Amino acid sequence: MKIFNIVKKDFKILIRSKSSALIVLFGPLLLILLVGLAFNTTNLQGIKLGVYSEGYNDLSNSLLQGMEDEQYRVTRTDSEQECRDGVTSGVYHVCIKIPANLEVRNDAQNTITFIVDESRVNLVYAVKGTINSKVGEKSKELSRGLTGNLVGQLEKTKQELSSRTSAFSEMKTTVDNVDIKLNELQSAINSVNLTYNNESDVYIGDLIKDVASIESDLNETAAWSPEVEDLFDNLKDKMDAIDDRLSALGGLEGSLTGGFGSIKEGLTLNKQKIGEIESSSNQIINDINSIAVTDVESIVTPISTVTEPVTASKTNLSYLFPTLVMMVVMFISILLASTLVIREKLSSAYFRNFISPTHGVTFVFATFVTNFIIVLIQLAIVFGVMLYFDSSLGSLLLNVASVLLLIAAVFILLGMVIGYVFKSEETSTLGAISVGSLLLFFSNTILPLEALPTAIREIVKYNIFVVGEELLRKTLLFEYGLEQLLVPIGILAGYVVVFILAIALVREWAVARYNIHRHLKHRK
Amino acid sequence: MPTQIELKGVTKEFGRNVILDKIDLKIPARKIFGIIGESGSGKTTLLKTLIGYWKPDDGEIFYDGRDLKRDMRYIKQTVGFATQDNCVYPKLTVRENLEYFGAMCNVPSATLNRNIDKILDLVELKHADNKLAEELSGGMQRRLDIACALVHNPKILILDEPTEDLDPLLRRDIVELIKKINENDTTIIITSHLLDETDSLCDEIAIIHDGKILEAGPTDELKDHYSKNEEVHIVTRGKKYKEIVRKLNKGSFDKAVVEGNTLILQSKDAEKLLSHVLKVVESTDRLIEVDLKRPTLTEVFESLVRKARQTKKEG
């Protein structure tokens, strides 16, 4: 029951305070509305690309054309340094270095280098992702072409080999026929008795001797004798035997001539077929040789990319440091300033200050100085820790400190405006956190500004957080001199003037409103 | 006595509410000037308008002949103000509060230290000068607030209900303190709805009702003007009041009433009546208590407010 009463009382107080009701009830709705309007898009827009190449060709041009088709703003720079400087100064989001005459070959240099500002982590990854996908598309297209070549060649080879299948059959048939023919010849040769025995077979020398003996006997005897008769019979038999064998050889010659003729014919046919196959093979080899890219890596990834930071190698903390410092400065300054102002306003001693002969401006300035000192002490601690880890920051300290003082001044003044506007500490704190969150949300910290619609982005680029972060990044990471940062410094200085005027107006109004409120409460 | 502050037709409105309605008032220098009125009658608004905290919607205010609108800085340097709220920093010590407000009132540091010691003696907070304001008792906090209002030696000290919320002993201390401050020729303007206290403290008063000054002037003159009778109160052992009244000369008193154990005799010259009454009681009864009551501010106030209400009702 007590809890219920307390809750009821809290709600009454909340609702009866118009400002707190506005913040508590409508603040989140407003925030959601703004965020909804702002981030109702999935694309990165207006990405500015600096491109440098020593020589552009069709491939690099078509790649860049593809990026331009994707709404990237592509600018070709005259030198690599100009391209890199563009990234550090924020003119380009990414610098793309394309090798001269980018070409897909076995021995070609196909690596595209992205030079990025690693301190804008989320934008870098988003841009790298989208550009990589664009390059990847081109790379895929090339890879598809190269693989198509290979597959086409394989198909052609297959067709060629298929068309030669009948030739192989014909050659096989021919070889079979030759085999048969050779078998026949072998049989024919086997059928001829070509055995010759010195003992039993006719010996030509013996015949000659026999003929010589007969001649001699005839000369001596001059008479036909039975022995001669026998000799001639014997000779005749032997001659017949020779005649038979020679006749058989004559038959064999015929067979051989015919057989060899067939074999020659078959071999000639085969030679012709082999010639055709050789010609096809040569054609295939020539076609394969004509494929320009055979390197596996080149086929799989015709265009590769590498990313390099625009600054010398640094840790992630270094890249995030400007954002971290900005967040610290913003929340501390806004919350502290608003709390100090509202506490002073609500303090009973405020009245005594008000009626003292000290001018109101003095109190405002003193509050500012108090805040400033506290923020400075906290920043000194943060930087002390940072210097411990990275002593190179020491040389930048003067520029960074100057920039930080300006940024802190702007946020403190903003916090003071909030403190003067609100009537209670609770609403003031809520207001401070809401404003801080809004500034943070519409910065590069959560999503890149490039993810916002153009109209909103045009406004948001003047966000104190965005301007301050840019200043810090350039002084801390890219070591810019203050003279190179006059525009953002000018914007922040403008904010200082605006907030001082706002404090002058709001304080007057708020003091009167608060005094009346307090007075009426007192009378009741 | 020269006029130090003069208000001419001062009007202050909040929205449609007229809080101060054409106030004309002259406050003399070096006196204790009381502004009395009911809660919500416009006392605090009048004081805050006097110091420029509220800008009048109409009319003019002059300090020593200087126009408040044109010479705000002089006036802030001239006036010290202590409210009902103890306008000090609770987290500062007594001395630190005095040093801070002294600095705000442009007191040079050498003078400031002397002033602080003197003021701490005056308000009897010397022993507590290193205590945090939030650790002080209610009476001490009120004295610290007054000390802060005095730290720059103002010619005029304005005190808004200085004894509000204090117990009788602390109230007496504050009244004594105010008298001590006035002894240093500091003009004191004080508001209160505790009329007895104002009666005993103030040289002059203004009675405010519904944002209008009903009457202003020296306290005694107002009392004489608005209350004609003084009273003699007697308490005797035998309560023989009828006999006592019978023995008194008829012309020596206007009216005799018995309230409880007390016989009250009203007369225009109570001192003369008192000596006569004492003689009669001595011969008639045994006297236990006797008191001479003069007309009070309460009477004046009640009379004026009643009249104002009547006029408003009729108007």
Q: pLDDT (tens digit, 9 = 90+) per residue, A54-108?
A: 888 887 888 788 778 767 788 899 988 889 888 887 788 888 888 887 776 656 6
Arithmetic mean of pLDDT, B200-213: 91
Instruction: Give the B-side interface with A, CB within 8 Å.
Output: 14, 40, 44-45, 48, 51-54, 73, 76-77, 79, 81, 83, 85-89, 101, 104-106, 148-149
Contact B161, B195 (CB under 8 A): no
Output the pLDDT for position A412: 94
Range ranked top by mean pLDDT from A41-45, A49-53, A163-167, A489-493? A489-493
Higher pLDDT, B256 or A209: B256
Instruction: Select from A344, A351, A356 the residue whose CB has the most chain B CBs within 10 Å, as the one to mutate to test that interface.
Output: A356
Order of strands across the sheet that contains B156-160: B79-82, B156-160, B187-192, B32-36, B204-209, B212-218
Q: Is the pLDDT of residue A208 over 80?
A: no
Note whether B81 contacts A522, CB cutoff 8 Å.
no
Query: Distance, in angstroms, between A129 CA and closest chain B CA?
Result: 57
A352 interaction partners in chain B (CB closer than 8 Å): 81, 87-88, 101, 104, 148-149
Mean pLDDT of A9-31: 60
- Mean pLDDT of all residues in B228-251: 85
Least confident of A39-48, B149-158, B214-223: A39-48
Q: Among A131-135, A239-243, B164-168, B173-177, which is the least confidently predicted range?
A: A131-135
Question: Cβ of B87 and A519 within 8 Å?
Answer: no
**pLDDT of A43 above 70:** no
Determine the pLDDT at residue A23.
58
Q: Average of pLDDT values for B195-212?
A: 89
Please return the burial class of A108, using the count of CB atoms within 10 Å of its CB with bins 0-12, 13-18 and 19+. Answer: middle
Q: What percent of chain B has pLDDT over 90?
A: 30
For residue B87, the chain A residue with the least C-alpha distance is A349
* pLDDT for B266 beyond 80: yes
How much is the pLDDT for A276? Answer: 84
ipTM for this model: 0.80
Q: How confident is the model at residue B188 (pLDDT cuts 50, 70, 90)?
A: very high
Pick B87's closest partner by Cβ from A352, A357, A523.
A352
Query: Which residue among A357, A515, A523 sits closest to B76, beta carbon to beta carbon?
Result: A357
pLDDT at res. A1: 45
Total H helices, total E strands in chain B = 11, 14
Residue B275 has pLDDT above 80, yes or no: yes
Comparing CA positions, the residue from A354, A341, A406, A421 lying closest to residue A375 is A406
Contact between B105 and A520 using a beta-carbon 8 Å cutoff:
no
Pairing assessment for the beta strands B262-267 and B204-209 based on DSSP bridges: unpaired
Please judge whether B53 and A355 are an interchain contact, meaning their C-beta atoms are less than 8 angstroms apart. Answer: yes
pLDDT of residue A12: 61
- Measured in angstroms, the CA of B288 and the nearest CA of chain A are apart by 47
User: What is the rounded average pLDDT of the residues B160-179?
Assistant: 84
Q: Which tokens hold the place of B88?
A: 């000090």
Distance CA B188, CA B186 (A): 6
Query: By C-alpha distance, which of A26, A76, A22 is closest to A51?
Result: A76
Between positions 355 and 414 of A, the ones with CB within 8 A of B are 355-358
* pLDDT above 90 (res A200): no
Q: Which residues of B touch A520 (CB under 8 A)?
A: 14
pLDDT at B139: 86
Task: Give per-residue pLDDT as tens, A260-286.
Answer: 888 888 888 888 888 888 888 888 888
Q: CB of A16 within 8 Å of any CB in chain B?
A: no
Of the partner residues B51, B87, B104, the one whose CB lies closest to the CB of residue A358:
B104
pLDDT band at B6 (very low <50, low <70, confident <90, very high): very high
Cβ-Cβ contacts under 8 Å, B79 against chain A: 355
Q: Which two tokens stand for residue A475?
A: 């002084």
Query: Model confidence over A96-146: pLDDT tens digits?
Result: 888 887 776 656 667 888 888 877 766 777 767 767 777 777 778 778 888
Mean pLDDT of A384-399: 77
Confidence band (pLDDT; 50, 70, 90) for A455?
confident
Q: Among A343, A348, A352, A365, which would you mutate to test the B interface (most chain B Cβ atoms within 10 Å of its Cβ)?
A: A352
Q: Say if the Cβ atoms of A357 and B52 lie within 8 Å.
A: no
Cβ pairs A/B, distance under 8 A: 54
pLDDT-based confidence at A7, cuts 50/70/90?
low
Q: Is the pLDDT of residue B201 over 70?
A: yes
What is the rounded distance in angstroms from the CA atom of residue A247 to the CA atom of residue A261?
Answer: 21
The mean pLDDT of B177-192, rounded to a whole number, is 91
Q: How far apart are CA B197 and CA B220, in angstroms?
A: 14
Q: Which residue in chain B has the smallest CA separation from A352? A: B87
pLDDT mean across residues, chain A: 78
- Identify whether the C-beta of residue A306 lies closer than 8 Å to the C-beta of residue A385: no
Looking at the predicted structure, is the pLDDT value of residue A199 above 60? no
Residue of B43, B99, B104 to mutate when probing chain A, most A C-beta within 10 A: B104
H/E segment holding residue B157 = strand B156-160
Q: Return the higher-pLDDT residue of A167 and B149.
A: B149
